[in-house]
Amino acid sequence: MVGSKARKKQLQRKDYQQLSAQKRLKIPVWRNTLVAFVVGGLVSVLGQGLIFFYIWLGFKEEQAASPMVATLILIASILTGLGVWDYLGQFAGAGVGVPVTGFANSIVSSAIEFKREGYILGVGGRMFQLAGPVIVYGAVTAFVVGLIHALVQWL
């Protein structure tokens, strides 16, 4: 009795999920992917331009990526602060979210939003709410890869 009730509930849920998928407004995947490709590409082109600019300023070629990343972070931070970035993000999705600009926006938007909860606990404590996973898993990956490399070398 209990088993058949549970199965009936599962079927009801499955049918409903199908109905819901049918009626749901569809995500324009082609449009989103194309826009993300073009905008992401343009952000990278901007980055490349900045690299040449810093080389011209005197940086060595290998060192120019650092100030380039910092510049993109600065641009994204200011546009976030001006209240423009959320519109850009809605339009371009991963096109601005996947480059380092997205990382910057997640940090700056959190810092600005939680300012009202104070500078220590709000800004300081919640700044990495959205960007934290990237740092955590990046560091863990680097640690594991480093260990594997050491192991492979030792063998």
Binders of other proteins among 64-93, rule CB under 8 A?
65-70, 72-74, 77-78, 80-83, 85-86, 88-90, 92-93
* 54 belongs to the binding site for other proteins (CB under 8 A): no
* 55 belongs to the binding site for other proteins (CB under 8 A): no
Q: Which two tokens stand for residue 70?
A: 């910092």
What is d(CA 75, CA 144) in angstroms, rounded to the nearest whole number? 33
CB of 17 to other proteins, least distance (A): 6
- 85-92 and 65-81 helices, crossing angle to 10°: 110
* 18 belongs to the binding site for other proteins (CB under 8 A): no
Q: Which two tokens stand for residue 43?
A: 């952000």
* 123 belongs to the binding site for other proteins (CB under 8 A): yes
**Selected binder of other proteins within 23, 56, 60, 120 (CB under 8 A):** 23
* 7 belongs to the binding site for other proteins (CB under 8 A): no
Q: Which two tokens stand for residue 95?
A: 């096109």
What is d(CA 60, CA 65) in angstroms, rounded to the nearest whole number? 10
CB of 5 to other proteins, least distance (A): 15
Q: CB count, 10 Å around CB of 37?
A: 12
The nearer residue to other proteins, 2 or 67, going by C-beta atoms, is 67
**Selected binder of other proteins within 7, 8, 11, 146 (CB under 8 A):** 146
Name every residue whose Cβ is closer than 8 Å to that of residue 97 and which is 6 or more positions away in sequence: 89, 105
The nearer residue to other proteins, 7 or 119, going by C-beta atoms, is 119
CB of 18 to other proteins, least distance (A): 11
* 141 belongs to the binding site for other proteins (CB under 8 A): yes
In the chain, the amino acid numbered 66 is S
Three-class secondary structure of residue 70 per DSSP? helix
